Amino acid sequence: MKKSKKALALLMAATMTMGLAACGSKENDTDVTPTPGNQGNPGNQGDSVVHGEDITLTVWGPSEDQSAEQGNWLPTMCEKFNEAHPEWNITFKYGVCGEGDAGAMVSQDPTASADVYMYANDQIMTLINANAVAKLGGTTVDEIKKSNSEAIVNSVSVDGNIYGVPFTTNTWFMYYNKSIFSEEDVKNLDTMVSKGKVAFPLNNSWYFASFYVANGCTLFEDGFNEAAGIDFAGDKAVAVTNYLIDLVANPNFVNDADGAGMAGLRDGSIGAMFSGSWDYNSVKEALGDNFGAVELPTITIDGQAKQMKAFAGSKAIGVNPNCKNQQAAVALAAFLGSPEAQQAHYTSRSVVPCNTELLAQDSVKNDALVIAQNNTFDNTSIIQPFVSAMGVYWDAAVNMANGIINGDVTHDNAAEMTDSMNAAMNNNGL
């Protein structure tokens, strides 16, 4: 019995080592995890021009960009890039990672992540802290600065360094039903709620701040000064809290939770909702000829019209500093953010371009979606702060919004509740 046990143990040990060996050799073949240290070696570059160096690049992007039915944008662009660069013979490996997931997924293990990936700019600090995104330099930076508005360049800059090639703006605006609201109506939210039903995702912190910012509240001054903190205090903020209490009490205001806004647009019971380009196709289908999209309206506080301001950001293509073919990776990132690629992205998936030349073209600039998103970005938005202290904002905002919606916050305690919200937003956890 003992003997058989020993034999079994031996057998198991053997299988395990064999398994390991097999895996090990496999990893050598397909290793996509570059070792840091020999980044962008100029010597390699010289050789590669002659030989057409064989390299592998891992590229991560959302699954829509890799779907044949939606134009296969990412693989198509990568192949084009390969053709345009005879100095490299690139084998691409693709992975699925939405722009919103990149922060978590790439920083989980930057050494085993994509060489080139797309991210939403609010995750830039997470990525920098994990050493998962490389500073760009040289001509790439010049090109980015030349072809994008300053706001967009700032959205991917930290301490003056640029960390990605922006390819689209990321914000929210208003969709409305033209048969319910006129173009004059949609300029003011209060006019709108007196005429028809409006859905707004109030208890979503991404949207919530727009009211406070309208009345002069600030987040980290211009969004980049971490020491300044969030200023949602004082009379200006209390006025907004009071405004919101009245707004929520209005029967024509619907808090847009669980898709209530979209359902209302579909059956005609709601005339306007606030969302972004990701809902464009659904809204277009629901409203047909009555489709309208426009920048944010104003709100009337103490008799004055104040402009609501959305959080805006960008989506950018980042390069992994652990990638061993830095030059190729940076060149690919630049190419994926080039006007040509943005144009293709717009054609295949209506991804609104951010390249200034492209935006000036007639085919692009007359599109309702592009107009709404860009007007919002240019006129009625602030850059969503991505300083680390911003982390506490989100829950504090949701709590306040829920308090307003369920009636815990009243005109009587508005000042007190606004103060405690402001304190919570500036609570650094100590």
- 113 vs 210, beta carbon nearer another protein: 113
* Rounded least distance, CB 361 to another protein, Å: 26
Least distance CB 207 / another protein (angstroms): 12
Nearer Cβ to another protein (231/279):
279
Give the whole-angstrom CA distance, residue 379 versus residue 270.
26
- Contacts for 365 with CB less than 8 Å, ≥ 6 apart: 359, 371
Phi, psi (degrees; rounded to nearest 5) at 179? -80, -15
> Of 115 and 295, which CB lies nearer to another protein in the complex structure?
115
Give dist(CA 42, CA 49) in Å, integer. Answer: 11
* Nearer to another protein (CB atom), residue 188 or residue 348: 348
**Smallest gap from residue 347 Cβ to another protein (A):** 17
d(CA 264, CA 361): 35
Nearer to another protein, 114 or 293 (CB): 114
In angstroms, what is the minimal distance from the CB of 182 to another protein? 25
For another protein, the closer of residues 1 and 227 by Cβ is 1
Report the residue number, 60 or 208, with the smaller CB distance to another protein: 60
Q: Residue 145 Cβ, how far from another protein at the closest point, in Å?
A: 30
Q: Are residues 390 and 428 in contact, defined by beta-carbon separation less than 8 angstroms?
A: no
Residue 58 Cβ vs another protein, minimum distance, rounded to whole Å: 8
**Smaller CB distance to another protein: residue 69 or 289?**
69
For the bound state, the minimum distance from the C-beta of residue 281 to another protein, rounded and expressed in Å, comes to 8
3-state SS track over the chain? CHHHHHHHHHHHHHHHHHHHHHHHHHHHHHCCCCCCCCCCCHHHHHHHHHHCEEEEEEEEECHHHHCHHHCCHHHHHHHHHHHHCCCEEEEEEEEECCCCCHHHHHHHCHHHCCCEEEEEHHHHHHHHHCCCCCCCCHHHHHHHHHHCCHHHHHHCEECCEECCEEEEEECEEEEEECCCCCCCHHHEHHHHHHHCCEEECCCCHHHHHHHHHHCCCEECCCCCCHHHCEECCHHHHHHHHHHHHHHHHCCCEEECCCCHHHHHHHHCCCCEEEEEHHHHHHHHHHHHHHEEEECCCEEEECCEEEECCEEEEEEEEEECCCCCCHHHHHHHHHHHCCHHHHHHHHHHHCCCCCCHHHHCCHHHHCCHHHHHHHHHHHHCEEECCCCHHHHHHHHHHHHHHHHHHCCCCCCCCHHHHHHHHHHHHCCCCC
Find the shortest distance in angstroms from Cβ 99 to another protein: 10
Rounded to a whole number of angstroms, the minimum distance from the CB of residue 27 to another protein is: 4
Closest contact distance (angstroms) between CB of 276 and another protein is: 8
CB closer to another protein out of 108 and 300: 108
d(CA 157, CA 173): 24
Q: 233 vs 401, which CB is nearer to another protein? A: 401
If the CB atoms of residues 105 and 389 are measured against another protein, the closer one turns out to be 105
How far apart are the C-alpha atoms of 4 and 72, rounded to whole Å?
57
Backbone angles phi, psi at 15, to 5 degrees: -60, -40
> Shortest approach of another protein to residue 283 CB, angstroms?
9
Residue 225 or 269 with smaller CB distance to another protein: 269
Which residues sit at the interface with another protein, rule CB under 8 A? 1, 20, 23-24, 26-27, 30, 32, 60, 62-64, 67-70, 95-98, 100, 105, 108-109, 112-114, 258-260, 262-264, 266-267, 269, 278-279, 282
What the block records as the tokens of 31 is: 């290793």
What's the min distance (Å) between Cβ of 112 and another protein?
6
